[in-house]
Amino acid sequence: MQRVFGLLLAFWFAGLALAADLPSVYPQARSIFPEADGYSGFEGLPQSVAVYKDGKVVGYLFLTEDVIRIPAYSGKPINTLVGIDLQGRIVGLAIVHHDEPILAVGITQERLNRYTEQYVGKSAFDRIVIGGKRDGHVAIDGISGATITVMVQNSTVMRAARAVAEVRGIRSPAAPAPAAATQDSRAAPVAPIETRPTAPPTPP
């Protein structure tokens, strides 16, 4: 029992340390939230980090591999650092690791980055269509010769962003407002969100 408790405590401190030093581990975090002056610990299921400015939460950062892992062309997932604001809009993102053999088919890392940048400004609740138009969807350009890679990246980013937004209590703009409670109504029990203990915001 003591060993298990020790391991849990070690993971807790490791999570706090990584969140506090997030810009050092992933420098892309600074460009996603340039105004940030503090970060929470990793919390929630799926995990994300609250981003602070002047003591107030301005958004959330998360790694897609902490939320969903979809094998891409290489057989391994693409890990992307994503930031969303309090309305669920993607404010920035950056691929931090992948094993896609894109260079072998003449596709540069820059092209893959440009594809990924198209998600900036999209809502976590948008439905994305690649390389075409469809009613009720937002269209973005694909990459010729990398169909599987872009399809996996699309599904990974959007499903992860929506999952984090929902856990953080962000609602879809199209979702109806909750009905007002009446004397005869009974609220259904809501399961609590499992979180890790967090530390006060720390400067980057």
Predicted confidence (pLDDT) per residue in 76-131, tens digit: 999 999 999 999 999 999 999 999 997 677 888 899 999 999 999 999 999 999 98
Q: What's the pLDDT band for 36 if we cut at 50, 70, 90? A: very high
Q: Using one digit for the tens of pLDDT, what is the confidence trace for 157-194?
A: 999 999 999 999 999 887 665 555 444 444 444 333 33
Provide mean pLDDT across the span 19-37: 87
Tokens at 3, concatenated: 């060993």
Give the CA angle between residues 57, 61, 63 to the nearest 5°.
160
Q: Is the dihedral of CA 175, 181, 185, 191 positive or negative?
A: positive
Tokens of 41: 């610990």
- Would you give the end-to-end CA distance of the chain in angstroms? 35
pLDDT for 103 equals 65
> Would you list the domain boundaries of the chain?
2-167
Confidence of residue 1 (pLDDT cuts 50, 70, 90): low
